[in-house]
Amino acid sequence: MDGVNFTWPGRPRFSLSVDRFSVGAGDRLLLLGPSGGGKSTLLSLLAGIVTPQKGSIDILGTDITKLSGPARDRFRAEHFGIIFQMFNLLPYGTVTDNILLPLSFSKKRRNNVEQTSSQAQEAARLLTRLGLPSDEVANHRAASLSVGQQQRVAAARALIGGPEIIIADEPTSSLDRARQKEFLSLLFGDIATAGATLIMVSHDETLAENFTHVRRLEDFAKMERGA
């Protein structure tokens, strides 16, 4: 990011400014900041969900601020896996349906999977890697799973097809300390295997020991929020 300034439409008193921010390939970066401090907005900018009024955002050699809306959507589907804070699973779809969903939007990720296995086999492999027995949960509806199980399905959905960048918005906030550590260990293992970059935001400073890089949002970004 270079010289970025973003204001939410209809909320002129809220703005986020970033002079310079960079992440290296393969990094495991934790971004720390208080709730409501602009962390989710920063992730939305990085993923091209929203675009700044000023500045450039270079992702894998492409300035995504210069892409049209549909082109940004395609770019995000090809190169990003996203773990949302509330997981955003399709509640009445099966576990397998949810994991395979990104392959419907990305030919590249679909081809990556089909070079070595079937789509269903890759979904099962990811479930197993993340500590869920695929033969027990693969055909269950997502809404029937526990919070911890839904979290792992959301991670598998983000990882399938080998996207270069994984972004995670407070994915461990609903877990106790032991389950947090277990989940991160499993997630890091699969990210390392894929050679992906992880950018995770949280307000929980105790997570810092698990990451190769830790930065505080206020050290490089300025947020203004008026009444």
> pLDDT of 144-164, one tens digit each?
999 889 989 999 999 999 999
Residue 93 confidence (pLDDT) = 95
Residue 226 confidence (pLDDT) = 61
Please state, in angstroms and as integers, the Cα–Cα distance from residue 10 to each residue in 13, 17, 44, 79, following that order: 9, 17, 17, 30
Query: Residue 102 pLDDT > 90, yes or no?
Result: yes
Q: Looking at residues 64-75, what average pLDDT do you find?
A: 97
Task: In whole angstroms, give the CA distance from residue 217 to residue 204.
Answer: 13
Q: Looking at residues 81-91, what average pLDDT do you find?
A: 91
Residue 131 confidence (pLDDT) = 84
> pLDDT of 170-224, one tens digit each?
887 777 777 788 888 888 888 888 889 999 998 888 888 889 999 999 999 998 8
Cβ neighbors of 23 (< 8 A, separation 6 or more) are 29, 197, 199, 213
Residue 14 confidence (pLDDT) = 81
Fold of 2-10+30-220: Rossmann fold (3.40.50)
R_g of the chain, CA atoms, integer Å: 17
Residue 54 confidence (pLDDT) = 96
Half-sphere exposure of 192 (CA within 13 A, CB side): 9
Question: How high does pLDDT run on average in the chain?
Answer: 91
Which percentage of the chain shows pLDDT scores above 90?
66
> pLDDT of 27-39, one tens digit each?
999 999 887 788 9
Range from 10-19, 43-52, 81-90, 212-221 carrying the lowest mean pLDDT = 10-19
Query: Residue 103 pLDDT > 90, yes or no?
Result: yes
- In the numeric block, which tokens belong to residue 108? 């590249």
What is the residue type of 134? S
Residue 227 confidence (pLDDT) = 52
Domain ranges of the chain: 2-10+30-220
Task: In whole angstroms, give the CA distance from residue 59 to residue 69.
Answer: 16
> pLDDT of 12-29, one tens digit each?
678 899 999 999 999 999
